[in-house]
A and B are shown apart, each in its own frame.
Chain A
Amino acid sequence: MSRAGFIHYDNTEKLLQVGGEWTLEHYIALNRAIQQLPPAPETTRLDCSNLGKVDFNTASLLADYLGSPQLDKLLPHAQGLTTDQRDIFASAVQATQTTELYTAKPSFSAVGLIAQLGQNVSNQVHQLVLLLNFIGDLVLTCVAVLVRPSRWRVTAWFYHMQQAGLAAIPIVSLMAFLVGAVVAFLGATVLTEFGATVYAVDLVAFGFMRELGVLLAAILLAGRTASSFTAQIGAMKVNEELDAMRVEQLDPIELLVVPRLLALLVMLPLLGFVSILAGLAGGAAVAVGSLDISWNQYLSILNEVPVRHFWVGMSKAPFFAVVIATIGCLEGFKVANSARSIGQHTTSSVVQALFAVILLDAIAALFFMEMNW
């Protein structure tokens, strides 16, 4: 029953007729009709006697067409216009006065590309400065807290040890066990050709003690814990909780970062150790199960591995812990105040933490090799 909206212009009478239902469903048709009309007509009269319902969207269409000043002039003596309709047109006139036609921005240009490059470089520098700043702050706070037992946040510390450490033991063990089995199979495949299948056990033992045990645990924490640190702190930032802390003269680094860092410092070596055991177990399962190496033989090969390899591996754990906790927390602080930003920084935190852990491991491997340890 709703009559479609129409608009008609009589050039000789300089009369603009509008009528029918001027509602959102007829917007596209009306817009098309208006484009057929002569642009910027010198209308002197407006006839609205057949006009039904007018909504704000279509009213602004007319205002755009005639220009707000002209429509404003026509409104007081428009034919057949009810007060309600006049109010709508009047608000449309007011609103369009301050609005320019929407124009899409150009999305690509060579200058823009160079500007973007410069922006990226200065951004990266800024990020580096932030990181160094944060590490400095963190070290100072850590020292200040450690010398004063009254400021130890034991509850938070235990909580994060539980969340980041103990809760990760099952997944770390499973992962290390599987990787241990894979390495044993791999070793067996290559070494059987030389008739040296027994050395597959050495491969697993050396590999897990020196490198894989702690590295696997660190990679898992980089994915599991760095992201959760970022999301936790980021959500607090969005909720203005960090600002509230500062107002209350509480130090977010002391309250939030130090317990997390200390928790990882304790738990990552522990997880590394669990991971080594699990990896060795995985190797043993393959060796005993399908390589015809007896359990006693396996143990005696393990016994001959010099223990310094174990310590070389474990010595990396605290460094990984610092890197993961620092990156996770710092990314949390970088969150701007929106939900989207939490997502971006969580991703970035995981990527950075993984990269940093692997880079650090590579540097350590070079160093230990040069030192002949």
Chain B
Amino acid sequence: MIQPAETILSMRQISNRFGNQMVHQNLNLDVYRGEIIGLVGGSGAGKSVLLRTAIGLNKPDTGEIILNASPIGVLFQHGALFSSMTVAENVALPLIEHTRLSRAQALHLAQIKLALVGLNQQAGEQYPAELSGGMVKRAALARALIREPDIVFLDEPTAGLDPLNAAAFDRLIKTLSKALGLTVVLVTHDLDTLYAICDRIAVLADKRIVAVDTVAKVVANPDSWIQSYFHGPRGRAAAHAARKEV
């Protein structure tokens, strides 16, 4: 894959701490326009915090962030749907607030977006509290995509989805990214997703990005954490499956 040179997000020398717990230390990461970049790291390594920092929800203690995109879309790890609105209203809200579309038009577009991520009309009329965990994820993705953003940040989008839906989710993200030039920053523990759709992978360990490159090159990285991550039993199975598909 040829790498487009324009950076859409650039993080320089980022440090984050909570109390006396250092989460990131002098972390650097560049994201190029149009790519799908996967962010991996152990549980509690600070991936969600890094996403929040990139979006501007969390002010880093030191460091600089340049994000050349607007609007942005975000899928939070736990969905973060507004509990006082139906799912369709949740998805339509950005359109109602930020465009001159009428409410009915916005809701119609929301229903279509929901269909795109595999939720039917009935789910659209329910409240978030009435949905399953996987349905919440998909509704939140629909909300993140509704304004056709330049860049979306997805925090574990396929966690809690069944394998079929997870694969469909992967394909959907890939299609959107290719066709719309959408940049995707994706936190995931799903190795299949990494192999299937990511142009590059960034590995977060030891409070910094220890490697960022194509899947093939990252897998070959001698770092011990990377080795055990990608060459554990699950890593091997996913790699095997990915090779078969090619």
Contact = CB atoms under 8 A, between A and B. Distances in A.
Contact of A96 (B101, B115, B129): B115
B106 to A, nearest CB: 9
Interface stretch (B172-180, B202-210, B212-220, B221-229): B172-180
Interface stretch (A82-90, A132-140, A305-313): A82-90
Contacts of B148: 23-24, 55-57
Interface in A62-109: 84-85, 87-88, 91-92, 94-102, 104
The size bracket of the interface on A is 20 to 34
B145 A56 contact: yes
Given A24-B99, A84-B179, A102 B145 contact: no
A24 B112 CA distance: 14
A110 interface: no
Interface centre among B115, B146, B181 (most CB of A within 10 A): B115
Contacts of B121: 98-100
Interface in B114-139: 114-116, 120-121, 127-129
B176 A56 contact: yes
Contacts of A28: 99-101
Contact of B178 (A55, A84, A95, A341): A84
Given A87-B175, A102-B104, A27 B120 contact: no
A338 B80 CA distance: 11
A56 B99 contact: no
A179 to B, nearest CB: 38
Interface string B12-46: 00000000000000000000000000000000000
A101 B148 CA distance: 21
Contacts of A53: 180-181
A99 B100 contact: no
A341 B172 CA distance: 34
Interface size class of B (residues with CB under 8 A): 20 to 34
Contact of A88 (B99, B100, B180): B180
A359 interface: no
A92 B112 contact: yes
A57 B106 CA distance: 10
A24 B148 CA distance: 7
B113 interface: yes
B129 to A, nearest CB: 4
A60 interface: yes
Interface in A185-201: none
A55 to B, nearest CB: 4
Contacts of A27: 99, 101, 105
B107 interface: yes
Interface of A: 23-24, 27-28, 31, 53-57, 60, 84-85, 87-88, 91-92, 94-102, 104, 336-341
Smallest CB-CB A-B distances: 3 pairs: A338-B83, A95-B115, A84-B179
